[in-house]
Amino acid sequence: MGDLQIKKTPKQYDVVIVGSGAGGGMASYVLSRAGLKVCLLEAGPMYDPAKNITQLKGPWESPRRGASTNFRPFGDFDACYNGWEIDGEPYTHKDKTEWRWWRARMLGGRTNHWGRISLRFGPKDFKRKSIDGLGEDWPIGYEDIKPYYDTIDKLIGVFGTNEGLDNDPDGIFLPPPKPRLHELMIKKAATGIGVPVIPSRLSILTKALPDNKDRKACFFCSQCNRGCMVYGDFSSSSVLIKPAMATGNIDVIANAMAREVLTNKEGLATGISYINKDDMMEYQVNGKVVILAASACESSRLMLNSKSQRHPNGIGNSSNVVGKYLHDSTGAAMGGYLPNLFGRKRYNEDGVGGMHVYTPWWLDNKKLDFPRGYHIEYWGGMSMPAYGFGFGIEGMNGKYAVAGKTKDAGGYGAALKQDYRHYWGAGVGMAGRGEAIPREDSYCEIDPNVVDKFGIPVLRFHTEWSDYEVKQAKHMKETFREIMHEMGAVITWGDDGPENNYGLDKPGVIIHEAGTARMGSNPKTSALNKWNQAHDCKNLFVVDGAAFTSQADKNITWTILALSMRASEYIISELKKNNL
Amino acid sequence: MDRRKSIKAIALGTVGAGILATACNPADKKEDTTAALPAANFDRTPEEAARDNKIAADKFLTEHELATITVLADIIIPKDEVSGSASEAGVPAFIAFIVKDMPHYQTPLRGGLRWLDVQMMNQYNNAFKDCTPAQQIAMVDQIAYPEKAKPAMSQGVQFFNTMRNLTATGFYTTQMGVKDLGYMGNQPNQWNGVPDDVLKQYGLAYSEKELKECISFDVQK
């Protein structure tokens, strides 16, 4: 052990934050701008969408034509580093369960990956137990969080429309883009059978924000997943951490893999120990307050691995709920093509990076055989060709006449080239994203036998869907089938039945992990109070998806941002009062 | 070696001699000549760049296999009045890379190419690439139409499906292929909605609400 030593940073920070995604980014932004001295630890490298560019590259510029790799599971041009598997950083499963764990290791975390879908939770989403008796109510309500949603709408920018829906609250919106052609067809078909279709709500600047010179308006290249060089969409690195760094109050330490929350004799957090992945040395950094925002599971892993005399179960875990109630959004999808779009006229249809319309949950669960709702996301049209283009044309080109002639399926030559042109741009698809019920027996815990390459004990997962989620997926498929039929689309995939749980994705696949250090009023059944503050350790906060008591039929990023901003303001005020 | 002998050699599995074996023996043939990748012009971590360069430098396909793939790719995507051929668009080099990047292609492709050569040896006493264009097309016609092909050809059909997939993907993801399709995006734009003539064609229109609420730009269409 001659060379191994623990290097202690002499600087005393006000706040040490672990993780730079939506939660950690927002905490960095609010706290550094308030003049606090902040240290931000990120397990991956630095990243700036204006410098680390994959945007506006043609498919030919990738030797694999945009196909995925283990390092970029969503394609060679995707902004996000890492994903399902990371060399030397395993995770394990119990009882043949199948949680899939996405880990984005880079500045900005998963905000480099997500679809910019920015939905507020509605009033009912905080009080589900009161409505259906399942799960737990949040210790806060919509009225507590609304002012933060309002601030974030203005600060970050989101387009959408005020529809006056009771559980999909209005916001402060930029104008949405007009629907694309297939979206108009979807809207016509879906509304015809009673499924509402409204403008989507994405954090993309269809107009430049007033008072923000650092970010420009969207130029409609449809590539938000590649990161935006003009910062026209939201990612934590460009929108939150960059301005935080401009204050001079924050030190960002990249490639810093957190090992443990350090505590003193009284059981209060004193800082974080971490490994610097560049020199593989052990470091400690100290702060008056510690904020975890490493992703729901990674934050709970840190808590469970931070054992001490005062916290024998892991820090903030006297309730024994840390790691429990792990849940993801449900997901199921269906796709095919619209024969009436064959041979369509060409024009630039890119639009913003994602759907221009979507379907919020529209039904009453009291009349259904499953308890919670889902929203529907749509796609299709003339998108940029990439690896996979043209695959399986032999399943299609014997069925439809091209230039007045029906040919045998398959084929080759000039006639086949005609077919590729004819069919291109006719694809259409849709996916449901629904609310699962958080359960005590869906959890992550420390695997007693396995460590990662840094010597940190790893997570072992035990997550299963219940009948509720399966029935919800069944309902999704029935709805999709109806919409596809109504619009004259041919279904080519996703027409699933009970044999595979209606195509319900494995838990974790939708990458909305939440619930593993849930907030609540009762310290015996929750890890955090309503300020994202550990019941057992007043200067420890968790501001990622771990804090979620339940996660609604909405993507969780906007609510992570709102809760993190709210917790950060609380920290500022408590520090002023010398309460932390 | 006469045709009969070479067939016998194949039938006996003694592939140490004969045209086919010589042509396909990696030991005494130069392997695929894919050049090292030019430096990527988009975001790569050092680990990614190293991995891609290693894949590019590795060899898998033999020259014989690559030559056969080139003939097949140009049969699948020939030059026409709109665009050039698969080989003009660099499809063989793409396939040479992708089979190394995605090893699940290796056995089906190598085995499928050999299956094809054996068919041609039996019928014409020549490897596929050395047969006449008429002979090549006569063979392709037997494996290019899954619903018409004879059961004895099923492995060939499967192989040709894979070749068709890789050729199409390789072609339509090049500048030439993207232009052929008429994809007009991947550049700064102002999305102003579906063009009026297209709306009319499909009997659709934007609602008052959409026209009022959505972003629009002053562009003369």
In this predicted model, what pLDDT tens digit does every residue of A211-257 receive, in sequence order?
899 999 999 999 999 999 999 999 999 999 999 999 999 999 999 99
Assess whether pLDDT exceeds 80 at residue B33.
no
pLDDT of residue B36: 58
Task: Evaluate whether A175 touches B213 at the Cβ level (below 8 Å).
Answer: yes
Contact A284, A7 (CB under 8 A): yes
- Chain A nearest CA to B137, separation (Å): 10
Residue of A nearest to B46 (CA): A45
Burial A196-225 (b: 16+ CB within 10 A, else e): bbbbbbbbbbbebbeebeebebbbbbbbbb
Site of tokens 């960059």 = A242
- Residue B171: the pLDDT is 98
CA–CA separation, B170 and A91 (whole Å): 36
**3-state percent helix, strand, coil for chain A, nearest multiple of 5:** 25, 20, 55
The Cβ of residue A123 has, within 10 Å, a number of other Cβ atoms equal to 14
| B11 burial via Cβ count (<10 Å: 0-12, 13-18, 19+) | exposed
Element at B8 (helix H, strand E): helix B3-11
Task: Give the DSSP per-residue string, A485-520.
Answer: HHTTPEEEE----GGGGGGPPPTTTT---B-TT-B-
The closest alpha carbon to A557, from A259, A307, A290, A233, belongs to: A233
The pLDDT tens digits for A348-371 are 999 999 999 999 999 999 999 999
Please indicate if any CB of chain A lies within 8 Å of the CB of B207. no
- Res. B6 pLDDT band, cuts 50 70 90: very low
Predicted confidence (pLDDT) per residue in A505-529, tens digit: 999 999 999 999 999 999 999 999 9
Angle, nearest 10°, between helix axes A557-576 and A142-156? Answer: 100
Question: For residue B219, what pLDDT band results from cuts at 50, 70 and 90?
Answer: low
Average pLDDT over residues B139-166: 98
Tokens of B50: 């190293």
Report the phi/psi class of residue B13: left, alpha or beta, with left for phi > 0 and alpha for psi in -120 to 50.
Answer: left
**Averaged over A34-48, what is the pLDDT?**
98
User: Chain A contact for B128, CB < 8 A?
Assistant: no
What separation in angstroms does the CA of A327 have from each of A103, A413, A454? 16, 50, 27
Q: What confidence category does residue B2 fall into, taking pLDDT thresholds of 50, 70 and 90? A: very low
Pick the closest to residue A386 from B82, B41, B181, B50 (CA basis). Answer: B181
Q: Please tell me the distance from the alpha carbon of residue A294 to that of residue A345, in angstroms, as a whole number.
A: 47
Asked if A87 has any chain B CB less than 8 Å from its own CB, the reply is no
Distance from the Cα of B136 to chain A's closest Cα (Å) equals: 13
Pick from A567, A563, A539: nearest CA to A552: A563
* A354-384 exposure pattern, b = at least 16 Cβ within 10 A, e = fewer: bbbbbbbbbeebeeeebbbbbbbbbbbbbbb
| Per-position DSSP letters for A180-211, written without gaps between them | -HHHHHHHHHHHHTT---EE--B-B-SSPPTT
Closest chain A residue to B93 measured between Cα atoms? A63
pLDDT in tens, A379-410: 999 999 999 999 999 999 999 989 889 999 99
CA distances to A12, A31, A260, A263, A463 from A272, in Å: 12, 18, 6, 9, 29
Verify whether the Cβ–Cβ distance B174 to A348 is below 8 Å: no
The pLDDT of residue B31: 44
CA distance A561 to A27: 9
Q: Sign of the CA dihedral B123, B124, B127, B132? A: negative
Q: What is the pLDDT of residues A101-159, one digit of tens each?
A: 999 999 999 999 889 999 999 999 999 999 999 999 999 999 999 999 999 999 999 99
Calculate ∠ Cα A105-A109-A115, nearest 5°.
125
**Neighboring chain A residues of B213 at a CB cutoff of 8 Å:** 161, 175-176, 199
Q: Which of A412, A424, A428 to mutate to test the interface with B (most CBs of B within 10 A)?
A: A412
What residues are paired with A491 via a beta bridge? A336
Chains A–B, number of C-beta pairs less than 8 Å apart: 222
Cβ-based contacts of B47 with chain A (< 8 Å): 71
Q: Is A272's pLDDT higher than 80?
A: yes
Could you say which of A77, A346, A412 has the minimum Cβ distance to residue B42?
Answer: A77
Q: Best mutation site among B32, B181, B218 for testing chain A: the one with the most A CBs within 10 Å? A: B181
Could you tell me if A171 lies within 8 Å of chain B, comparing CB atoms? no
Spatial CA neighbour of A526 closest among A316, A304, A328: A316
Task: Decide if A145 contacts A559 (C-beta within 8 A).
Answer: yes
Q: Testing the interface with B: which of A417, A422, A424 to mutate, by most B Cβ within 10 A?
A: A417
Per-residue pLDDT reduced to its tens digit, A3-34: 678 898 889 999 999 999 999 999 999 999 99
Distance CA B23, CA B20 (A): 5
Whether the CB-CB separation of A326 and A99 falls below 8 Å is answered with: yes
Give the residues across from A335 on adjacent strands.
A429, A493
pLDDT of residue B38: 72
Please judge whether A178 and B193 are an interchain contact, meaning their C-beta atoms are less than 8 angstroms apart: yes
The closest CB to that of B215, out of A175, A179, A184, belongs to: A175
| Interchain pair A178, B94: CB under 8 A | no
In the predicted structure, residue B14 carries a pLDDT above the cut 60: no
pLDDT category of residue B39 using cuts at 50, 70 and 90: confident
pLDDT at B221: 44
Interchain pair B186, A220: CB under 8 A: no
Is the CB of residue A555 less than 8 Å from the CB of residue A433? yes
Dihedral angle sign, alpha carbons of residues A552, A555, A560, A566: negative
Least reliable range by pLDDT among A91-105, A454-468, B25-39: B25-39
Beta-sheet strands, E only, within A23-164: 38-41, 92-93
Q: How far apart are the first and last CA of chain B?
A: 69
- Structure confidence by residue, pLDDT tens digits, A439-472: 999 999 999 999 999 999 999 999 999 999 999 9
- From A148, A77, A126, A128, select the one nearest A383 (Cα to Cα): A77
Query: Is the minimum CB–CB distance between A64 and chain B shorter than 8 Å?
Result: yes
d(CA A515, CA A57): 38
Q: Is B159 on the interface with A (CB under 8 A)?
A: no
Q: Which of the four pLDDT bands, split at 50, 70 and 90, describes residue A2?
A: low
Alpha-carbon distances of A203 from A30, A174, A464, rounded to whole Å: 19, 9, 32
- State the DSSP code for A346: P
| pLDDT tens track for B98-116 | 999 999 999 999 999 999 9
Phi, psi of A260, rounded to the nearest 5 degrees: -160, 150
β-sheet bridge partners, residue A276: A256, A281
**Chain B residues touching residue A176 (CB < 8 angstroms):** 213-215
Distances (CA, A) of A259 to A104, A275, A278, A454: 17, 7, 15, 8
Least CA distance to A344: which residue of chain B? B198
